[in-house]
Amino acid sequence: MDHEELGDPLHELTELTELTELTEEASTAMETLVSLWARASQTVSPRLSALQLQALLITRRNPGINLTGLAAEVGAALPAVSRLCDRLEAAGLLCREPVPASRREIGLALTQQGTDVVDALLAQRTQLLGDVLSRMPTASRRGFLAGLQEFSRAANRPERRPGLAPRR
């Protein structure tokens, strides 16, 4: 009999310990990437908070998104997101537009200035990341990309019990 199929507590403990160690190591490594992203964000004018940049990036990916959708995407309360959008609109980066398919619904869109700010941010991120990747061996770059792609897929899958393989 396979101990994994029986839900062997020792196997589950070992798996959980390995996952914990890997998570700690990954967290440390990701701090470098987060620092790189923050450095890119500091070059953008006007200076924006992480939440403001996130709202602009989400709006770019989802033109016409409404406040409720944006609130769900950023994980914030609707009134806070409404105020956030008020500030972005006052800065000339975002505009509210009626949704063609609905007379009552208002969608969000980037202004030209908002698009320029996001383009500048993405270009700076690409430059900084490219500089780092150029210092890595080719095989490591490919492994890095494959790992990030799988991480992204896993992050978008439904949750399950943390740290343990699903029971069969």
- What is the per-residue pLDDT across 52-103, written as a single tens digit (0 to 9) for each? 999 999 999 999 999 999 999 999 999 999 999 999 999 999 999 998 888 7
In this structure, what is the dihedral angle of CA atoms 106, 111, 117, 118, given to the nearest 10 degrees? 50
Q: In CATH terms, is domain 50-155 a member of 1.10.10.10?
A: yes
Q: In the predicted model, what is the mean pLDDT of the chain?
A: 87
Q: Which residue has the tokens 């190591």?
A: 25
Which amino acid appears at position 167 of this protein? R
pLDDT tens across 2-37, in order? 545 556 777 777 888 888 998 999 899 889 888 988
The SS3 of residue 107 is strand
Helix (H/G/I), strand (E/B), else coil: 97: strand
pLDDT in tens, 32-52: 888 988 888 888 888 899 899
- What value, to the nearest 5°, has the Cα angle with vertex 152 and ends 149 and 157? 130
pTM across the whole model: 0.75
Provide CB contacts within 8 A for 80, sequence distance 6+: 71
CA distances from 134 to 11, 112, 126, 140 (A): 40, 32, 12, 11
